[in-house]
Amino acid sequence: MTDTTDDIAEEISFQSFEDDCRLLGSLLNDVLHREVGPRFMDKVERIRILAQSACNMRTAGIKDTAELLEKQLASELSKMDLEEGLTLARACSHYLNLMGISETHHRVRKQRNLSHMSKSCDDIFNQLVQGGVSPDDLYNAVCKQEVEIVLTAHPTQINRRTLQYKHIRIAHLLDYNDRPDLGHEDREMLIEDLVREITSIWQTDELRRHKPTPVDEARAGLNIVEQSLWKAIPHYLRRVSNALKKNTGRPLPLTCTPIRFGSWMGGDRDGNPNVTANVTRDVSLLSRWMAIDLYIREVDSLRFELSMNHCNDTISRLAQEILEKESDTSSEDRHDTWSPVQRNQLKNHASCAPNLPMQLPARADLPSCTECQARESQYPRLDLPGTDYMPLNRQGGSGSPSKLPTNEILSNNSQTKAHTSSASLSSAQLLAKRKLFAENKIGRASFQKLLEPSQPLRPGIAPYRIVLGNVMEKLKKTQRRWELLLEGLPSEADPSEYYEFPDQLMEPLVLCYESLHSCGSGVLADGRLAALIRRVATFGMVLLKLDLRQESGRHAETLDAITRYLDMGTYSEWKEEKKIEFLIRELKGKRPLVPPSIEVGPDVKEVLDTFRVAAELGSDSFGAYVISMASHASDVLAVELLQKDSQLALGGELRRPCPGGTLRVVPLFETVKDLREAGSVIRKLLSIDWYREHIIKNHNGHQEVMVGYSDSGKDAGRFTAAWELYKAQEDVVAACKEYGIKVTLFHGRGGSIGRGGGPTYLAIQSQPPGSVMGTLRSTEQGEMVQAKFGLPQIAVRQLEIYTTAVLLATMRPPLPPREGKWRNLMEEISNVSCQMYRNTVYENPEFLTYFHEATPQAELGFLNIGSRPTRRKSTVGIGHLRAIPWIFAWTQTRFVLPAWLGVGAGLKSACEKGHSEDLRAMYQEWPFFQSTIDLIEMVLGKADISIAKHYDEVLVAESRQELGAQLRKELMETEKYVLVVSGHEKPLENNRSLRKLIESRLPYLNPIHMLQVEILRRLRCDNENHKLRDALLITINGIAAGMKNTG
């Protein structure tokens, strides 16, 4: 509700939104009447009316009546049997999902209908020019902008992918329903389609029955690219280009892209033993394969479109060279893409067979009615693009353009070869040869190419088709290469026959683009061809560059094994200075550190294997190597040494250098303690001559630093985490500036506010001044990936927001604290807030048990929404629990405790000391402080004390009821002091549309909460009841749909 949109207040038209909700709700009612019967639907309606009435009473301030209605609702739900409860949970869950689809659709509709969109490229570019920024400065800033959005597999996407696709289908049908020219019959057919989709959804199991593998998660990320981002990128870049041209007079260069994409899916092994070196290798190759597959589809369509003959000299010469090269090559070699081993086998088998003709007979492509002496036929040949047309040649010189079925040609060809080689081949050899031919996929493709026409060297040819046909062949050979590598087979193809780098693919496309413009066909060049060039610039040959992530302790364990083997002692026991001295000495050396004979345990071997895969595939396949829980300079140097060593070792085996350079190494500072030391660590690193020279030489003088929002929030509470992150970024920027090094900050944000989530624009605009200087990396996780990029229209809007927010933060940085005392006041609030948070979560011995009783945390593991365990280590404390289940569990109870706990105590302390006016001034004038308070206010708008109290009353032991009461009192106090600072009368007063959206969900959301409480009560008395567990998981799904985020 808070994290999926940036401008939901201005992008929702409630009349049309409510119309769609009524339509989908009515259709779901019809489906349920048919599926579960009218008697049960009467119960559902009674439950909804009770919930709606209770909500109305609370809104009107009549709390006593609201409590009576809520008790009656809970009583009726407790009397339901398991089947009824399960069906009710499913029904309410689907209602909430359909409402979510309607919200998303109306964002799309509003964007389409508005003539002027705030925060769009045109809007912000115009603001900057009107504000005094010169057109040249604006143009250069946009062209040099480097933003990378990194998709992660964090387990917060609750919906199965099957259901996500069905939801997208409904969104498309709603879009079609908006057409003003839709006739009565068409509308009736559309309603029937909607009914079919809703019926299909109802009859589909909502629950994942098995955990996804890391490769499954990677496929989900690639599907987002294929279904949405692939379509969105050209549209987004065209918007940027048009806005630039309008405001500066110059369009965006064709090969320039301000945004690129990365991925952690298949590369993030931090605490996930399922992500192995082999998984990383397979995911990287799969991403490359998918990129080529998408390019093949685009080039195939482009060949059909560019049918014209007129071109410039460059394209004409290139087409002639391609034809001459094909003409000079034997028919066998020209179409041969088999491996050398397969080729030699077939040559030996056919040594006694007569040679095939080296080329088609002269004029074989012309109609048989053409006179032999005529240079051109009076009946021009019909050229059908994209078909496998092949004129069959006759020995007499003229060919008939008839086309036989492929199986008949294969049969005839096989009979001929069998007859001619019968003297030299036994039947067993012949059978083996045929089997090899039939089973070899590449062989079948190669033989099929024998049926394609060779392009004649004559006037009237379509030169663009010849050039793009050559591009297509190279792409297919590239794809076959990745297929062989994925199968673990050697690929010995000639490097000139496939693409490895984006520039190789880009070159012929840009030549075609320039030719079309020079020939007056710019309107054609700027269509599908320009879109393809922009995709190549954005996605390259890998689609999503894969980051690798590992915890710093695993690298120390690896070096422990190496130093002990070399009788040097135990690396992890050394002091920091000794570690650095050893690492730098080895980094300067030219020999491998790890002996080939070393025997290590499986954990250490896995780390070494990961570095070997990175060296084997090369830096072009990967983005960064992220070190989680980094705390010292030696953590970074250790990774630099291990990857250098793997490159030396593999290069020695291959007897050639490894592809590309080393990956950039990115320390991730997560805990409050590590955030406070981040600047010192970076200073220490940059003070080392070897490291500083390495950064300048190999990474263009750029140091990347990642800051983590999840663990810092779990460690000290949201308010303290936000302040420590702000200061850490300031310190890191200052440290890099001292050494003349540019810095890129990588933000590890989650979806929920408790993990650093929130509207993108607000988040970027509240960063410290100077921390966003045209560069930014940020994660998008779990359900946020689908919410922000699941539909092309939504994705375009999100990409624009990233671009304009980074541009504003660069050219018009947010204001720093106006007065020094503001920083001191923040320190005081942070200290009180942190102390309150830690006293409750870590120091209170009753809290852990209370947490397990009051929330469904223990049951979340059965959701099967991620490949990684919920805990880093097998302990029961909060410390090793991951941030996602920590926040997920509290979100389910509507207490949302991690996002606000401690905030009220800190603000109350400041107000009681007479700083109320200072806090209001900070809220009005300091973007960072305003953003922090607004996000907490959003959380308070989602929290519900009465629902949280119901969980406590039913599920928590009486001895711990008092703890729950104290926490609810703290929530009320937090709301009071947040409103004092913001000046609002109640939460979300400045975002009434969002508040209305929340309220519209409550008649379906509140019953699911009460049903979940009842199911949890029963399940804890009957833990092995799988039917009860399924019902619980469905309520978790429904609450996640209503809250619009999970963890």
The residues assigned a catalytic role are 154, 714
Give the Cα separation of 990 and 10 in Å (integer): 12
665 — phi, psi (to 5°)? -105, 125
Cα separation of 717 and 703, whole Å? 29
- Give the residue among 756, 776, 777 at the shortest CA–CA distance from 712: 756
Distance CA 485, CA 294 (A): 19
Q: For residues 712 and 118, is the Cβ–Cβ distance under 8 A?
A: no
Per-residue tokens: 609: 């294997």
Tokens of 509: 């496309």
- Picking from 155, 333, 126, 348, the residue whose alpha carbon sits closest to that of residue 242 is 126
> Which residue stretches of 717-845 are H helix?
718-738, 760-765, 783-789, 792-811, 820-838
Q: How far apart are CA 389 and CA 385, in angstroms?
A: 9
How many CB atoms within 10 Å of residue 628? 25
Q: What is the separation, in whole angstroms, between the first and last Cα of the chain?
A: 13
Q: Which residues contact 687 (CB under 8 A, 6 or more apart)?
A: 739
Q: What is the DSSP string of 349-389?
A: HTTTSPPPPSSPPTTTTS-TTS-TT-SS-SSPPP--TTS--
Residues pairing with 703 in the sheet:
743
Q: For tokens 């003349």, name the residue.
A: 740
Residue 856 has a CB neighbour count (10 Å cut-off) of 26
Judge contact between 250 and 139, C-beta under 8 A. Answer: yes
Q: Are 43 and 84 in contact (CB under 8 A)?
A: yes
Closest CA to 711 of 939, 936, 881, 845: 881
Residue 282 CA to residue 288 CA, distance in Å, equals 10
Which residues, other chains included, contact 7 with Cβ-Cβ below 8 Å and sequence gap of 6+?
118, 119
Chain Cα centroid distance, residue 339: 36
Amino acid sitting at position 978: V
Give alpha helix (H) positions in 37-134: 38-59, 63-78, 82-113, 121-130
Q: Please, what is the Cα angle at 160 between 155 and 164, to 5 degrees?
A: 110
- Closest by CA to 548, choosing from 490, 466, 619, 446, is 619
